[in-house]
Amino acid sequence: MPLNIPHNLPAVEILKQENIFVMDDERAAQQDIRPLKVALLNLMPVKITTETDFVRLLSNSPLQVEVDFIKMKDHQSKNTSPEHLATFYKNFDDIRKQNYDGMIITGAPVELLEFEKVTYWKELQAIFDWAAKHVTSTVYICWAAQAGLYHFHQVPKYPLSKKMFGVFRHAINDTSVPLLRGFDDEFYAPHSRHTEIKREDILRVPALQLLAESEESGVHIVMARNGREIFITGHSEYAPDTLNNEYTRDLNKGLPIEMPANYYKDNDPQKGISVKWRAHAHLLFKNWLNYYVYQATPFYPEEIEQLEDLDV
């Protein structure tokens, strides 16, 4: 079953052009199936791009998924229209009494700030604590991964001498973990960040399991509580042109930026982009939905009542 999202969300038309089938909310309402409920807390400034990136990955599953888009209550977005936010987004207060099968918390362009100096840090901490109790499995992406590791396990982040920018090769540390089932021994993922978390800090915390890492870009995937929390420092969700757009943007602004590593064919922007991460990105989120959301989700109260009525 495909994704269940509002029929007028901009991502729908974008993905139709990519031949990706997305079931809108009007058609999904006709089916007698309880979809998986997934919340997407979108901390990125250009929200429509991020919506499309994650909808693309979540739609590539036989499971029907219903997505709620969440924003921070006390943060005003400068790059997304108020009309879009009012139409498609909820605040944390709107969902805090609900339970979700899954949740994704995106990165944010605040990584050089200390966590406590981020204007919405206290609200975000409340969401982290809520998710630990009300969500079956939560995926933390890039800065959110660093923030989650700091909040739950006091793992610090460190500034890099230059931006980690490009597509990097990763190795799997434990091939038995269902999250990485079907992965090749080595896989690629994009990174775009100015800070890092260190391997030795992860290994010092018994509750954390380091699943994948890179000789170049360092720690990549960390898991806690048997998958209730999954921390990913890279951007498997990125569309093919995202790093190119970031590179071009910074060049036009005169900012110090190196060409993204291992990204262009023969490291020549004129030859186009070599996409190395798409298949593993789809497999990563398909595995997450299947093994950590769908198979791990507890019964809803109404389902338990139905089973009791059947004397099961």
pLDDT at 1: 44
Residues 38-72 pLDDT 10s: 999 999 988 999 999 999 999 878 888 999 999 99
pLDDT at 12: 66
Give CA angle at 236 (11, 246), nearest 5°: 75
CA distance 94 to 70: 9
Dihedral over Cα of 185, 190, 194, 195: its sign? negative
Two structure tokens written together for 14? 């974008």
Residues 188-222 pLDDT 10s: 999 999 999 999 999 999 999 999 999 999 999 99
Element (H, E) at 283: helix 278-287
Residues 302-312 pLDDT 10s: 443 443 343 43
Residue 14: pLDDT over 90: no
pLDDT at 79: 67
CA distance 276 to 253: 28
Burial status of residue 19 (CB atoms within 10 A of its CB: 0-12, 13-18, 19 or more): exposed
| Owner of token pair 């901490």 | 125
Contact 263, 166 (CB under 8 A): yes
Active site residues: 142, 235, 237
CA distance 244 to 72: 28
Residues 238-256 pLDDT 10s: 999 999 999 999 999 998 8
Residues 165-179 pLDDT 10s: 999 999 999 999 999
Which has more confidence, 297 or 203?
203
The string of DSSP codes covering 31-87 is: S---PEEEEEE--SSSHHHHHHHHHHHHTSSSS-EEEEEEE-TT---SSS-HHHHHH
Residue 73: pLDDT over 90: no
- Rg of the chain, C-alpha, whole Å: 19
Taking all residues of the chain, what is their mean pLDDT, rounded to a whole number? 88
Q: Where are the domains of the chain?
A: 3-303
Class of domain 3-303: alpha beta
